[in-house]
Amino acid sequence: MDWQHGKCCHQISDAGAVREVAVRLPIAEKRRNSASRKHINPRVVRRPRIAEETLSAYLFLGPTLLHLVVFTAFPVLFALYLSFQSWNLATGANYFVGFANYGELLQDEAFHRSLGNTAYFTATVLVSVLVVSLGTALLLNQALPARKLLRSISYMPAVTSVIAIAGIWTWLLEPTYGPVNTLLATVGIEGPRWLSNTDTALPSLILVSIWRTFGYFALIFLAGLQAIDPTYYEAAQIDGAGELALFRHITLPLLAPTTLFVSVMVVIGSFQVFGLVYATTGGGPVGATNVLVFFLYQQVFLYFQMGYGAAAAYVLFAIVFVATLVQLRLGRGMTPEQQSNV
Amino acid sequence: MNGRIKRRTLLFRIAPSLAIPAVLNAACSSAPGGPVAATATAASAPATVEFWHAFPTALVGTLNQLIKDFEATHPNIKVRATQYAVGDITTKTLTSVAAGAPPDVYTQGIAVLPDLVVQKALAPIDDFGPLPVELYPGFDQLTKFNGKRYGVPANGGITAMFYNPARFKAAGLDPAKPPATWDELRAYAKKLTDPATKTFGLIVPAAPVNWTANMWFGFLLQAGGQFLSQDNKTAAFNSDAGVQALQFWIELVNTDKSAPVADLNSETMMSTYSTGNIGIMPHYAGVLGAVKGYPFPSLSAPLPAGKQRGAHLAGQFLCVFEGGKSKAAAGEFVKWWAAAENTALWAASGGGMPTSEAASKHKLYQDYLKNEPLVKGFQDSLQFAVGTPNVVGISGIQVRVAEAIQSAIFGKATAKEALDKAAAQANAVLKG
């Protein structure tokens, strides 16, 4: 190996062995057949290896980076700028107002209600999804005959368009003519008005949301369950542990990273719920299902107040950011050994 | 080194050629799409009028016919029509104005005309010369702002009632005698309601959108009320007349239970009525074509009288943008549309009401009136139809009124409380 010509770098092969490889500079090729090969001229200018590789990397990344900057980074930063402006899209008036938008949000009763609705929605969906998807995963982990079919069925709502789901459920839950209430009437129960009642509208949406996502998270829990080394169970069973004890002391703790992941995803997704609300209740009735993103949508698309809407968006960002930080802190503290599973 | 691509080739040949289509894609995917149209100069290059509309799909055939007629008589102008959903067109147009790339013409549904004038986005129609007809006076108030006209109605919108004669007969009512007063409407609705068969006498909207407030506006007028004060500086819809009008709806829904408690909007009102289980549906003339297609015949009648008759006058207004690429050609197109025969053709295809006396008297429309019984209720309503005031921010105020209507119908507030709250919000907007 011609160490004088190149740098050494390590390569780790699939088998885990470490090999030392010399990386030869292009200039070394030119001089391969020259008579003065054995003489190393320290003043030869070596084309910097790093710059060329980096350059080609950037060229490959370029299109995607451009897309990311134009369609993600720029709008996010522009929205931050907007949140300090008052911009009426209809009249075109656009001027700086400092923190006035945020101040107004703090006093906006409708905003408080949407925060409350969103928090209630998120908390309920989180607890329910954790229980339901873990339960489903445990079920799917058994050697059931229809296991693959059940897996597909439970997963299908997660890959269905939210607008289609909204349409179907609006019809299913229609208070007067819908199948759910008609079915309940046959057993003598007068069904509630579901999406048309201020008390049952949000719970109805919570149910639909759970139905929609539990399959997806069940699959994630299933992967987590199957990653648990069976020797743990064997050891515990030798010590005389029953099913419940196995679950409490082996399964749950070893699932902690998966649980953390699911929790974070559910919280982020629930705080951002919009499509379902828009396509079913339109934030109503009377603001009962007005969630944070819907409030934002109203400000921007109904009242044309771009700055106010942007401020609401950043409040949402701050809340989700803090919530995720808290969850990660709590989660990290609990799972020192299985961190690599996340 | 043999199988691997030479680094140099990778760097200078392949990577850039991969990058270029991706960059182009990123740049072009956000472009509004459309050729750069040359403005109509001295009969050399043809002008293309970029026309954004929210007409229903059922009318696109007639629209294309009208465009063909226009292009035949105006050889240097082409019209490119793009259809948008009613709920999208306002936002789409406003953002295009903000981006400095508006279309040439658009159909205004939601009342943002004053707002657009304030930001100098619209071209006064008078700049293009006089209109070929005298429009109905009701449209002047809706299309003029600060003394100048900024829109030409493509059609007139009017609220009246559709009703199901079969349901009338089943309830022992005479379909030839629709309810003419509030008391009659209430009595009829009660008779037409049958919980056993899940039929309702009436449906009223309650979705918190402009449309709901505009549907209710007719009832406000019938109670003798006004939307805003005479000087347009304060809200007047929370007067006694307003409270009466909203209370009437509350009693129909919650006391008599002749109408379902639901936050219906324009589309869900129609889909509910189309099931055949509803006796009476107040709605706009523009959905006549759709109602005709339902699996049962319908009739129409003007909205009942309270203290007096009243109906909401609206319509889709063709507005020309200052920043459009073919402004002069767009002006020609808009003026041409108002001509009697063109408006009459549009109205006779179920596109709404005619916008001028001349169009109403035109043979096309007269024949249509004779052969289409469903227009009767709307035609008869023309004489007492009034538009909502044309002020900056009116569309946001309408949404607030709709929210008040929704909270009252759902029993979350009394009529007075709900309307007073909306009035406070409206006054804040009207003040500045």
Could you tell me how far CA B37 lies from the centroid of its own chain?
29
Number of A to B CB contacts under 8 A, please give it. Answer: 106
Closest CB to B261: pick one of A91, A196, A303.
A196
- Alpha-carbon dihedral sign for residues B52, B53, B59, B62: negative
Interface of B with A in 258-277 (CB under 8 A): 260-263, 265, 275, 277
Could you tell me the pTM of the whole model? 0.80
Contacts of B25 in chain A (CB under 8 A): 63
Contacts of A286 in chain B (CB under 8 A): 403, 406-407, 410, 412
Other beta carbons less than 10 A from residue B23's beta carbon? 15
Give, in order, the Cα–Cα distances in Å from B91 to each of A90, B390, B430.
9, 19, 22
User: Is residue A310 within 8 Å of A79, Cβ to Cβ?
Assistant: yes
Cβ–Cβ contact B10 with A under 8 A: yes
CA distance B138 to B314: 9
Contacts of B265 in chain A (CB under 8 A): 282
User: Is residue B164 within 8 Å of B298, Cβ to Cβ?
Assistant: yes
The two tokens of residue A34 are 């020259």
Residue A48: cis peptide before it, omega within 30 degrees of 0: no
CA distance A286 to B35: 45
Interface of A with B in 69-88 (CB under 8 A): 70-71, 88
Cβ–Cβ contact B26 with A under 8 A: yes
Kindly provide the ipTM of the predicted complex, given to two decimals. 0.80
Cβ–Cβ contact A303 with B under 8 A: yes
Cβ–Cβ contact A286 with B under 8 A: yes
User: Is residue B8 within 8 Å of B289, Cβ to Cβ?
Assistant: no
The DSSP letter of residue B274 is T
Could you tell me how far CA B219 lies from the centroid of its own chain?
18
For residue A212, give how far its alpha carbon lies from the nearest alpha carbon of chain B (Å).
24
Per-residue pLDDT of chain B (432 residues; tens, 9 = 90+): 444 555 555 555 554 555 454 444 444 444 443 333 434 444 446 899 999 999 888 889 999 999 999 999 999 999 999 999 888 899 999 999 999 999 999 999 888 999 999 999 999 999 999 999 999 888 988 899 988 999 999 988 999 999 999 999 999 999 999 999 999 999 999 999 998 888 999 999 999 989 999 999 999 999 999 999 999 999 999 999 999 999 999 999 999 999 998 889 888 899 899 999 999 999 999 888 889 889 999 999 999 999 999 999 998 999 999 999 999 999 999 999 999 999 999 999 887 899 999 999 999 999 999 999 899 999 999 888 999 998 999 999 999 999 999 999 999 999 999 999 999 999 999 987
Contacts of B18 in chain A (CB under 8 A): 59-60, 63
Contacts of A326 by beta carbon, 8 Å cutoff, 6+ apart: none
Interface touch A60/B18, C-beta < 8 Å: yes
Cβ–Cβ contact A62 with B under 8 A: yes
Interface touch A66/B260, C-beta < 8 Å: no
Nearest CA in chain A to B210: A302
Contacts of B147 by beta carbon, 8 Å cutoff, 6+ apart: none
C-alpha angle with apex B7: B1 to B9, nearest 5 degrees? Answer: 110
